[in-house]
Each structure stands twice: as C-alpha cells, then as structure tokens.
Amino acid sequence: MTELELRGFRIFPGYIDAGAQAALVEALRAVVAAAPLFSPMTPMGRAMSVRMTSAGRYGWISDRAGYRYASTHPDGQAWPAIPQAVLGIWRDLVSDVRDPDCCLINYYGEGARMGLHQDRDEADFKWPVLSISLGDDGLLRIGNVARGGSTVSHWLHSGDVVVMGGDARLVHHGVDRIRFGSSSLLSGGGRINLTCRVVD
C-alpha cells in the first residue's frame, strides 16, 4: 500500500478503486435522501460555501448558536447510519475496536473552499480523524497546531484517504480550492469529502 506523510498526515493515494468509489457514491445518495444537504452558517452569520449532512449517532452542524455536534438533522430527523463501506475503511486504517460516531459529508461545488481550521469539537483527541475524497481534485493545505506559520499543500484525488492522528490530530488544515470537472465520478461535478470522527 502506497503511503505519503505530510506533517503527520498519513495520505493513502488511490486507496479506493473506481468501482468502490461508484458504489460508495450510491450509498451516500441514500444518506442524502434521508438527511438532505444543507447550507450551514458560521456563528458570525456568514454562509459557508460547502453544503453538508452527516451519518451516524451525531451530525456536525453550524449556525448562529455555534459549531457543534447534534443528535438530529436541522430538519428534526435522526441521522441515517454510516454506510458499511465507510466503516470498512475506518476499520482497516484506524480501529477495528471502536467505530466512529459521526461521518460528516461535505459537498464542494464550483468555487467552494474550506478555510484553515482544527477538528476540536470531540471529547477525546486520541482518536484520529479519517478523511475520504470522492470526485473532483481538492487542494489540501496543512498548517500547524498553532495558528499561523508556514503551510504545505497537496492535491487530493478521488479515492484518496487521509488519516489525521497523533501529533497531527489538532493541526490546522483546509481546502483552498477544487479543480471543478476534473473527475467524472459525480455527474454534475464537484467534490465529496467524508470525515469520520469519534465524538464521545
């Protein structure tokens, strides 16, 4: 298995083959049918450029009340189960003892991005965050635990998987842009990013 490491981020290029990517997209369609994508707001009242939903015991939401995990979708329904294919990747690369509580699903359309941030709303940082890329290429930027300083960038392609754990668990990271239309996986273009986390 090919593996790269950037500032403690373990990157597995092409971990998911083309057939498995297509099957995973179909499984995600069922998730989105039960828990539709929504456009979150930052606590400052700004609309985020990504659309999102979740699967699992918890979903991640953002609005004027702040960033947080919630047990229900903003529309009121429980989140659907995490697809088995996603759990299989988690069990292969992170843990076969504890499954994630949340699979956050972000959709990046043309022009969408995600600023540098830390994943720090979880109770126990010893568990890594697993990130799966599907669809168009996304330019990952990796910073430092403290805000500021130099950064490094790496293009993620459809089927790539990243594990952020250990000293890299609280490193700032973001997606500067996507190459819209660079993949044929999604008929309308765009990038899907799945991030799995242990919340409790």
What does the pLDDT look like over 135-162, one tens digit per residue? 999 999 999 999 999 999 999 999 999 9
**Inter-residue contact 69 to 77 (CB < 8 Å):** no
Q: Residue ranges per domain, the chain?
A: 4-197
CATH fold group of domain 4-197 = Jelly Rolls (2.60.120)
Instruction: Spell 71-100 as b/e; 16+ CB within 10 A means b.
Output: eebeeeeebbebbebbbebbeebbeeeebb
Angle formed at CA 104 by CA 13 and CA 24, multiple of 5 degrees: 55
pTM: 0.96
What DSSP element (H or E) covers 90?
helix 84-93
What does the pLDDT look like over 10-50, one tens digit per residue? 999 999 999 999 999 999 999 999 999 999 998 888 999 99
Cα separation of the two ends of the chain: 31
pLDDT attached to residue 22: 98
Quote the distance between the C-alpha of residue 118 and its chain's center. Answer: 12
Q: Residues 4-10: what's their mean pLDDT?
A: 96
